[in-house]
Every structure is written in structure tokens, then in C-alpha cells.
């Protein structure tokens, strides 16, 4: 798992440095970081923070696992919180992966610590069984703890 997550972080650092850094969505106080990756079903789940987005990422154990799915295609994934919609992503170096957007752009997060706390809370919520009533996934940004429902962040 460490090798796969390290490769993910390295790749998105390079994407940021080579393609995104000069764009207005690049939030300089933040850096690329993998948060709370853990084994799940056919691979690993965790949150990727970048200066331009925060996504829940599902990485396959077998690189060819989701090759039959088209990039951009929506894919339902059963998690402890219930079925969640992910999007198929792909990269020449990483292969196929699934992602679910939590925030983009990242301008509402004043620090890496704030982004990390939001990532941790979002993943905890996805990986916890519902308490009888379905609640929307929420991400908090900024010192004022402004709350965003997941639907607002897409």
C-alpha cells in the first residue's frame, strides 16, 4: 500500500508543479498529501489533498482491475456509509482509480492542518455505518468552520 500511495502523491505533486501551479485555483498554502489510506475491498481508500482539490480516492490492488471502465464513467461503490458514487479516473503512470470529489478549489482552507482535519472527518464519515438516518457528507473549511454539504462541492 505504501508504494502505491507514495506513487499517487509523487504523481500529483508533479502534475501540480508542471501544469497547475500557475493557475488561480492553485492554493499555495497547501501541499499534496495522502490522508488516512487504509485497506478496503479490492484496494485502498483514503483522501488525497492537493492545492487545487480534495478527493476520496480508491486505488486498486491490481493495476488492471478497473481498466474496463471508461475514464469519466460514474461507478457505485458500496462503503460502510452506504452506496457512494465515484468517478473513474486514469493516468498513464497510475492506471485506473476511482475518486469522489470533496472540495475544489481549495481556497476555503487556510492551512494544511485545516484541509487534513476535513479530509480525516470526511473519510471517517464514509467509513462509518449510518446511524439509522442517512446524513449528507460534509466538509468543513476555514477557521469559522464553514460547513459545506458534499453536493455543494461538486
pLDDT, tens digit, 9 for 90 and up, residues 112-136: 999 999 999 999 999 998 876 555 5
Q: State residue 2's pLDDT score.
A: 87
Q: State residue 67's pLDDT score.
A: 79
User: DSSP states of the chain as a string?
Assistant: -HHHHHHHHHHHHHHIIIIITTSTT--TT---EEEEEEEETTEEEEEEE-SS-EEEEEEESSTTTTTTSPTT-EEEEEETTEEEEEEEEEETTTEEEEEEEEESS-TT--SHHHHHHHHHHHHHHHTS--BSB----EEEETTTTEEEEGGGG-
Q: State residue 62's pLDDT score.
A: 83
Q: State residue 44's pLDDT score.
A: 96
Q: State residue 72's pLDDT score.
A: 95
Enumerate residue ranges in the chain where pLDDT < 70: 132-154
CATH code of the region 2-153: 3.30.1460.40
Q: Could you tell me the pTM of the whole model? A: 0.83
Amino acid at each position: 500500500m505504501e508504494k502505491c500511495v507514495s506513487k499517487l502523491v509523487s504523481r500529483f505533486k508533479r502534475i501540480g508543479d508542471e501544469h497547475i501551479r500557475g493557475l488561480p485555483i492553485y492554493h499555495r498554502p497547501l501541499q499534496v498529501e495522502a490522508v488516512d489510506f487504509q485497506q478496503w475491498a479490492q484496494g485502498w481508500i483514503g483522501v488525497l489533498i492537493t492545492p487545487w482539490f480534495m478527493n476520496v480516492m480508491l486505488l486498486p490492488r491490481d493495476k488492471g482491475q478497473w481498466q474496463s471502465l471508461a475514464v469519466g464513467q460514474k461507478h457505485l461503490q458500496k462503503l460502510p456509509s452506504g452506496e457512494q458514487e465515484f468517478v473513474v479516473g486514469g493516468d498513464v503512470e497510475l492506471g485506473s482509480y476511482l475518486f469522489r470529489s470533496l472540495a475544489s478549489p481549495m481556497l476555503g482552507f487556510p492551512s494544511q492542518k485545516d484541509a487534513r482535519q476535513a479530509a480525516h472527518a470526511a473519510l471517517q464519515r464514509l467509513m462509518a455505518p449510518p446511524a439509522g438516518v442517512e446524513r449528507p457528507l460534509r466538509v468543513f473549511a476555514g477557521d469559522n468552520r464553514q460547513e459545506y454539504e458534499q453536493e455543494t462541492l461538486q
